[in-house]
Amino acid sequence: MVRCVVTGATGYVGGRLAPRLLDAGHTVRCVTRDAGRLRDVPWATRAEIVTADLAEPEGLAEVLADTDVAYYLVHSMGGPDFEAADRRAARNFAAAARAAGVRRIVYLGGPDPGDADASPHLRSRAEVGDILLAGGVPTVVLRAAVILGSGSASFEMLRYLTERLPAMVTPRWVRNRIQPIAIRDVLRYLVAWADVPDEVNRAFDIGGPEVLTYADMMRRYAAVTGLRPRLIVPVRVLSPKLSALWVGAVTPVPGRIARPLVASLVHEAVCAEHDIARYVPDPPGGLIGFDDAVRLGLAKIRDADVETRWATAAWTGAPAEPLPTDPNWSGGTAYVDERTRPVHAPDAALWRVVEGIGGETGWYSFPLAWSVRGWMDRLSGGVGLRRGRRDPHRLHVGEALDFWRVEEIVPGHLLRLRAEMRVPGRAWLEMYVEPGPDGSVYRQRAVFLPRGLAGHLYWKAVSPFHAVVFGGMARNIAHAAERAAG
């Protein structure tokens, strides 16, 4: 049994690694800035969850105490001075690991940037690896390019570009060579390094068995999924910035996430060595090829068995403030739209409708208005509606749900969503299920805390539409529950 610490457990890779380490018989301590976001994951009761911020060195050594292997799976995807933030977090972590006597650090980074013209994102990932390697604790840096798996940002980008565009004018980087790797192989490497006894202190390139261009990947994806062959015409005029806007318009991946992804594709990302096989041998059937990785990812999506998604990770900033409980809002102004409807259906039927809201199901009210609001958000650099939901039936705290995030869920009673669309203030939507004389009662509350004059003007501009949007939503949710109950 190995004692493991996993940082980034609310992210795409960390959220899959923690349960696999537990299944392998290891103990797992997850480090997160917001422990509530791991409250409802299926494996939460099997792990120890502690709250800490890698940007603050105080207490990190205690968090890492009695640890054999520490997994460093955090990084910024942009924001002001993100390189300095990543540098500071890595230095704090390395120092704390050394003080705590950690046996090994394992870091999942990006491909070797190679030259000075590399993107800031790739340079920062490489710098973090160098800091950890020089930190005094034996460190393994795994350098991966495109990771293919259900719910990964890279996979979603490839999937939507290929499925939605039978013919496309593309930037030149679609001709660059890439060595993608399946998420299953990434996780196999990560788990294996908990048991490798050698005191290795170096970086390893990791990739799948095939080297492809991005255009090859789109064509192969189309072939695997039975789509007609895609017409791809590379041109010279689409810069990485314009490419990110193009990706943001066509796929669920917003521009601020697409930018570092595109920037990592501008340079070729092919493994220079496969030395990792000396320590973690390839499986008997070999590493997973591109076509099989696509099939596995799509099967997970089809079966609603997506463990983690890129949208669930907290990409920027500190954890958002929850809905204030002070009834006077600390002297500020709160706008509230509240609606209540009796429902001639049992509590359980109403709750199934509430918990299944969003994604492909929609929001039970004026679809055009929701669609327009989603497009407005994307045009302003927000996430829009396309993030959808991970599971069509179940939600847990911290999950992304279209342009909301689940802030609280009390099964059978309350679903509270925090807005992540771009608005001049903070907004929440609460949905309650309560007992009623003829079945149940649905109660809905929208709360908006304006920021400055723009916030007040925003609420006044949209409030005339609330009767249609929020009123229709409450009415249609009630009707859906009654229909479901028969």
On whether both 307 and 341 belong to a single domain, the answer is no
Q: How does pLDDT run across 195-228, given as a tens digit for each residue?
A: 987 789 999 999 999 999 999 999 999 999 999 9
pLDDT at 315 over 60: no
On whether both 338 and 289 belong to a single domain, the answer is no
How far is 152 from 298, CA to CA, in rounded Å? Answer: 12
Token pair of 191 as six digits: 């788990």
On whether both 157 and 17 belong to a single domain, the answer is yes
Which of 312, 341, 357 finishes a domain?
A: 312
CA angle 138–140–143, rounded 5-degree value: 155
Which of 260, 286, 312 finishes a domain?
A: 312
The share of the chain scoring above pLDDT 70, in percent, equals 91
How far is 194 from 8, CA to CA, in rounded Å? Answer: 17
pLDDT at 74 over 70: yes
Strands laid side by side in the 400-401 sheet: 335-343, 439-450, 425-436, 414-419, 404-410, 400-401
When pLDDT is cut at 50, 70 and 90, the band that residue 326 belongs to is: very low
When pLDDT is cut at 50, 70 and 90, the band that residue 320 belongs to is: low
Cβ within 8 Å of residue 243, ≥6 positions away = 171, 173, 258, 262
On whether both 403 and 460 belong to a single domain, the answer is yes
On whether both 28 and 164 belong to a single domain, the answer is yes
Q: Does residue 14 contact residue 153 with C-beta atoms inside 8 Å? A: no
On whether both 417 and 374 belong to a single domain, the answer is yes
Note the pLDDT of residue 316: 42
Examine residue 319 and state whether it is found in any structural domain, yes or no. Answer: no
CATH of the domain at 147: 3.40.50.720
On whether both 85 and 216 belong to a single domain, the answer is yes
The average confidence (pLDDT) of the chain is 87
Q: How does pLDDT run across 159-177, given as a tens digit for each residue?
A: 988 998 888 888 777 888 9
On whether both 266 and 367 belong to a single domain, the answer is no
Examine residue 322 and state whether it is found in any structural domain, yes or no. Answer: no
When pLDDT is cut at 50, 70 and 90, the band that residue 237 belongs to is: low
Examine residue 318 and state whether it is found in any structural domain, yes or no. Answer: no
On whether both 339 and 450 belong to a single domain, the answer is yes
CATH of the domain at 433: 3.30.530.20
pLDDT at 137 over 90: yes
Q: Which residue has the higher pLDDT, 29 or 247?
A: 29
Examine residue 323 and state whether it is found in any structural domain, yes or no. Answer: no
Examine residue 87 and state whether it is found in any structural domain, yes or no. Answer: yes
Q: Which residue has the higher pLDDT, 256 or 393?
A: 393
Q: How does pLDDT run across 353-375, given as a tens digit for each residue?
A: 999 999 889 999 878 777 777 77
Note the pLDDT of residue 369: 75
User: E strand or H helix at 87, and its extent?
Assistant: helix 82-100
Q: What's the structural domain count of the chain?
A: 2
What is the rounded radius of gyration, in angstroms, for the C-alpha atoms of the chain?
23
Q: Which domain holds residue 268?
A: 3-312
On whether both 215 and 334 belong to a single domain, the answer is no
Q: Can you name the residues that pair with 463 across neighbouring β-strands?
A: none
Which of 259, 278, 312 finishes a domain?
A: 312
Examine residue 171 and state whether it is found in any structural domain, yes or no. Answer: yes
On whether both 251 and 352 belong to a single domain, the answer is no
pLDDT at 98 over 90: yes
Q: How does pLDDT run across 105-136, given as a tens digit for each residue?
A: 999 998 887 765 677 888 888 999 999 999 99
How far is 29 from 50, CA to CA, in rounded Å? Answer: 7
Q: How far is CA 216 from CA 88, 147, 178, 231, 477, in A?
A: 38, 16, 10, 11, 45
Examine residue 442 and state whether it is found in any structural domain, yes or no. Answer: yes
Note the pLDDT of residue 319: 44
On whether both 277 and 410 belong to a single domain, the answer is no
Q: Which residue has the higher pLDDT, 251 or 330?
A: 251
